Amino acid sequence: MFIFLFLICFSIGRASFVADPLLTINTTTWLNSDFYEDVFKEDWDGLSLEKKVEALEDFISRELVIKKAEKIGLHNDPKIKKDLLIRKKALLINNTYEHLIARPLILQEDFETNIKNLKYKAEIYHLVVGFSESQEDTGSLISQKEAFSLTDSLYREINKEIALNQEKASSVFSRFATDFSDDPSAKKNGGFLGWVPWGQTVMSFQKPVFELKNNVVSKPILTPYGYHLALKTKQDVSNYFYYTPKHYTDLSYKVSQAFLDFDSLKTISADFDSLLIKQGALSFNATFIDSLVLFVDKKREVQKMLGNKNTLIAWLKEFTKQDVFFLFKNKGFGLSWLIEQLQNIPSSRVPPLKSKQEIKNLVVSFLLQEEVFLLSQTNNIDATVSFKRDWLNNYKNILYSEYITFLNSSFKKTDSSLVAKKYEEGIYKNKYIKPKRAVFTEVRVFNDSLGFVLKEKQQKGVLFDSLVVEYGGAIREPVSSGAQSPLGKALFTMSPGETSPIIKNSDGSFSIARLESFLPAEPFSLDRVFSQIALEIKKEKQDSVRINLFRDLKKEFLPIINYKSVGLN
């Protein structure tokens, strides 16, 4: 997003992409590259013209909604402003961990490899030969040495057959993959993986494969799954080719992070957290915590409730003992601090607080958030590309959702005269009609043996009324036409007074039914369908606003749209 019109040329290898202005609203401009980060280029190219227009209008409409929401000051509404601040703080904390812990662990070589290759995708065939000691189990029983020997011999045989028969490399490779690969899917797809973007497979596989020339079989490649042979038949630019340079670079870091050892990262993060708490010299008031746990337990016992977030907060507010809860960084904190923290987190993150350790762990988690948030400020995390992108996406999502809610809530209670009018129109169109119903008497049994006995008695001519008495049959609730149950379908093929043969129901029970009569279709009374019609009217109004939103906001803001920048005229 930029505040003036200009062109950017993304030069990537031998290809280049010129980013043109797509949309301008007031002084803000979006490029087609911004659009392609929202709607991937591959997906866009596969859409029909109608769907392309729809996707583009959705993108523009979303930006117009944000402008409208800001214009009416929706982002300054106290509740929404609080939600935005809470989300912003959470994103700053997440990005601080990423920039201070994860990114320093990335090897420069891995980052440069990702920078070089993320812009590409490759059409790939592969064949894998597993071995018993491999990191990932393929079910193979042979040794690693035997697996390598087999893979190497397959490499030679594939190349030999390609040279002798002058056949397409992919055809030959596919036959060998079908016959020899330990990948179960190879039996169906001949080892064809399709188009694989960089970053979707393990580095030990993708790096040598992307370095291959087209239609050249790789030598054996060792991965956690075993030894692979691979064939790259085509290479083209990926969706990431169309990213803006700063977002492309940031994505390269994120992909590099995905290859970091998870256990090591977890250990380093835990050490980082421990050091922050240690530096603050956290000290709890054990007596106060003991009293607090007893108080909460007593509340839980008396009220016979586990205690959800709101209940727990209410209980804590009733705790009258005044004392220091804990010390941190030479400052004392009371229970009101914990209550304030609890009010700002989702209910799903609130533990039941049944023990001292649970309380301590909760306090530590809140303190860590505060400390990492302070680190985000001293390290200017709010200036990083990753945070700016995360924050902009979240800001727009929240504001868009709140604006739509605001529009929907603006509808007043539906006028009863409108409901009555729609009811009359519906009756005329046979809409609010109670369908034809079958009144019947049923005998039902619930196991196969009784079903067999019931069938035999019916075949021997035992009267239906006798079966009703013997098996506790009765007149049932009428069944409406269109019922999909075996019994419901059978009833509407019968005539009044007729008795059905034995019917096996969907739940495994067995029935014999006598059709007593049909109740004709008739209109529902207005009071029965009033709420339904009122909701229909409200939904129609909401749908009308949604459908006309793009048109109305377009008239208000007069955006400049360059359809040609995304291939539309």
What share of residues in the chain are helix, strand, coil (percent, to 5)? 55, 15, 25
User: How many whole angstroms separate alpha carbon 84 and alpha carbon 384?
Assistant: 19
Which segment of 244-253, 281-290, 333-342, 517-526 scores lowest on mean pLDDT? 517-526
Would you say residue 181 has pLDDT above 50? yes
DSSP assignment of 92-131:
HHHHHHIIIIIGGGS-HHHHHHHHHHTTEEEEEEEEEE--
At position 429, the amino acid (one-letter code) is K
Q: Which residue has the tokens 């109004």?
A: 541
Neighbours of 333 (CB within 10 A): 17
pLDDT in tens, 320-351: 899 999 999 999 999 999 999 999 888 888 88
- Give dist(CA 340, CA 315) in Å, integer: 13
User: What does the pLDDT average to over 98-113?
Assistant: 95
- What does the pLDDT look like over 550-561, one tens digit per residue? 899 999 999 999
Q: Could you give the 3-state DSSP secondary structure of residue 561?
A: strand
* Domains of the chain and any CATH numbers: 120-237 (3.10.50.40), 262-379 (no CATH), 436-520 (3.10.50.40)
**pTM of the entire predicted model:** 0.75
Per-residue pLDDT at 16: 62
Which tokens in the block code for residue 223?
Answer: 């991965």
With 50 as the cut, is the pLDDT of residue 12 above it? no
On the question of pLDDT at 544 being above 80, the answer is no
Instruction: Give the integer Cα–Cα distance in Å for 109 and 266.
Output: 22
| pLDDT > 80? residue 5 | no
